[in-house]
Amino acid sequence: MTTEAKSSSRERLLEAAATLTYQDGVSIGVDALCKAAGVSKRSMYQLFESKDELLAASLEERVSAFVTTLLPAADDHRPPRERILHVFAQMESQAGAPDFQGCRYLAVQIELKDPSHPASQVAHRVKANLTGFFRTEAEQGGARDPDLLARQLILVFDGASARAGIQADNLAGLIAPTVTTLLDTAGVR
Render pLDDT for 72-81 as a digit per residue (tens, 0 to 9): 998 999 999 9
Please state, in angstroms and rounded to a whole number, the distance separating the CA atoms of residues 106 and 110. 6
Please state, in angstroms and rounded to a whole number, the distance separating the CA atoms of residues 185 and 151. 14
Q: Tell me, yes or no, whether 47 and 78 share the same domain.
A: no
Burial, 61: exposed, middle or buried (Cβ in 10 Å; 0-12, 13-18, 19+)?
A: middle
Query: What is the model's pLDDT at position 3?
Result: 57
Cα 69 versus chain centre, distance: 11
Dihedral, 126, 52, 112, 32 alpha carbons, nearest 10: 110
* Cβ-based neighbour number of residue 178 at 10 Å: 16
* Cβ-based neighbour number of residue 32 at 10 Å: 12
Is 90 exceeded by the pLDDT of residue 49? yes
Please state, in angstroms and rounded to a whole number, the distance separating the CA atoms of residues 63 and 165. 19
Is 80 exceeded by the pLDDT of residue 7? no
Q: Tell me, yes or no, whether 121 and 172 share the same domain.
A: yes
Please state, in angstroms and rounded to a whole number, the distance separating the CA atoms of residues 58 and 108. 12
Q: Please, which pLDDT band fits residue 180 given cuts at 50, 70 and 90?
A: very high
Q: Please, which pLDDT band fits residue 17 given cuts at 50, 70 and 90?
A: very high
- The CATH number covering residue 114 comes to 1.10.357.10
Q: Tell me, yes or no, whether 35 and 116 share the same domain.
A: no
Q: Please, which pLDDT band fits residue 2 given cuts at 50, 70 and 90?
A: low
Q: What distance, in Å, lies between the first and last C-alpha atoms of the chain?
A: 57
- The CATH number covering residue 13 comes to 1.10.10
Query: What is the model's pLDDT at position 82?
Result: 98
Average pLDDT, the chain: 95
Q: Tell me, yes or no, whether 113 and 152 share the same domain.
A: yes
Render pLDDT for 108-150 as a digit per residue (tens, 0 to 9): 999 999 999 999 999 999 999 999 999 999 999 999 999 999 9
Query: What is the model's pLDDT at position 5?
Result: 56
Average of pLDDT values for 43-68?
Answer: 97
Q: Tell me, yes or no, whether 25 and 80 share the same domain.
A: no
Is 80 exceeded by the pLDDT of residue 4? no
Q: Tell me, yes or no, whether 50 and 69 share the same domain.
A: no
Is 60 exceeded by the pLDDT of residue 1? no
Render pLDDT for 72-105 as a digit per residue (tens, 0 to 9): 998 999 999 999 999 999 999 999 999 999 999 9
Q: Tell me, yes or no, whether 47 and 68 share the same domain.
A: no
Q: Tell me, yes or no, whether 111 and 44 share the same domain.
A: no
Q: Please, which pLDDT band fits residue 64 given cuts at 50, 70 and 90?
A: very high
Q: Tell me, yes or no, whether 82 and 166 share the same domain.
A: yes
Instruction: Work out whether the CA dihedral 37, 40, 42, 43 comes out positive or negative.
Output: negative
End residue of a domain, out of 54, 78, 93: 54
Q: Tell me, yes or no, whether 37 and 68 share the same domain.
A: no
Domain coverage including residue 14: 3-54
Amino acid at 117: H
Q: Tell me, yes or no, whether 96 and 143 share the same domain.
A: yes
